[in-house]
Amino acid sequence: MGTMNISLPDPMKRWVEDQAKSGRYANSSDYVRDLIRRDRMRHEAIAEIQAAVDVGLASGPASPLDREAFKARMRAGHAAR
């Protein structure tokens, strides 16, 4: 495992230390690793949503929703199960 030294303003340093002391994290490094994991997951989720938006935009203009046809398809799908 690599090592990285970072500089934090005193209030941030106290915050990180307090999070470690809370008992949820073994130490400050565990807290920072958790923050990084969560940030990576957030970025991956945003990328996934953006990809879905891009697919939707590339699919062309939307067509009006026929509610009755939609309901019929939903009922047929549920009946098939």
pLDDT in tens, 22-58: 999 999 999 999 999 999 999 999 999 999 999 999 9
Which of 23, 5, 1, 2 is closest to 13 using CA atoms?
A: 5
pTM (two decimals): 0.70
CB atoms within 10 A of CB 16: 19
DSSP 27: S
> Does 20 have pLDDT greater than 80?
yes
Distance separating alpha carbons of residues 42 and 35, to the nearest angstrom: 10
- Tokens found for residue 41: 């997951």
In sequence order, the 6+-apart residues with CB closer than 8 A to the CB of 17 are 28
Q: Using 50, 70 and 90 to split pLDDT, how confident is the model at 18?
A: very high
